[in-house]
């Protein structure tokens, strides 16, 4: 069911789901055994690991954080200037990014002004406001009279 809600996670194994008061944390790891360096060579030689946090769009009013156990690999191409490289998940991660492409798109659309590419559709303009905290991005409807 989680993969139906988050189709961009198909390349990951979801190991744990933790619900916190204001967010849901998905702890994951990459399914693939190897990773491809930017030089095009594939490697299975793991150099190290670290946890990367990506924020995703809110679900049911809760922020979503995807924690991915990222592996650093050694490039076996002796001509490659990159001795080690971090694996990237196609469609989900880009180097140094802390947000999923979906969340970046939502935030970009919300920030776009009149007549600019990425502008919200006419029926939604001014109705939803997206904000971004340190670890959670949220979208909410307009303030109601008397609230």
- 65-72 average pLDDT score: 96
Look at residues 103, 36, 100, 26 and name the one whose alpha carbon lies nearest to residue 71.
36
Long-range contacts of 46-51 (CB under 8 A, 24+ apart): 46/71, 46/72, 46/73, 46/74, 47/71, 47/72, 47/73, 47/74, 47/84, 48/72, 48/84
pTM metric for this prediction: 0.71
What's the chain's Rg over C-alpha atoms?
18
pLDDT for residue 83 is more than 60 = yes
pLDDT score recorded for residue 138: 52
Does residue 85 contact residue 40 with C-beta atoms inside 8 Å? no
Per-residue pLDDT tens for 95-139? 888 999 989 888 887 665 555 555 544 444 444 445 555 544 555
Per-domain boundaries in the chain: 2-140
């Amino acid at each position: 069911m989680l993969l139906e809600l988050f189709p961009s996670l198909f390349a990951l194994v979801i190991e744990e789901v933790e619900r916190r008061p204001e967010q849901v944390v998905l702890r994951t790891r990459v399914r693939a055994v190897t990773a491809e360096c930017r030089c095009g060579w594939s490697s299975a030689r793991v150099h190290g690991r670290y946890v990367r946090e990506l924020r995703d769009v809110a679900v049911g009013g809760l922020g979503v954080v995807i924690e991915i156990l990222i592996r650093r690999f050694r490039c076996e191409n002796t001509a490659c200037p990159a001795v080690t490289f971090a694996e990237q998940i196609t469609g989900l991660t880009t180097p140094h990014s802390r947000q999923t492409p979906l969340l970046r798109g939502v935030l970009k659309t919300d920030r776009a002004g009149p007549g600019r590419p990425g502008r919200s559709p006419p029926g939604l303009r001014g109705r939803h406001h997206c904000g971004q905290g340190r670890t959670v991005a949220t979208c909410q409807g307009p303030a109601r009279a008397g609230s």
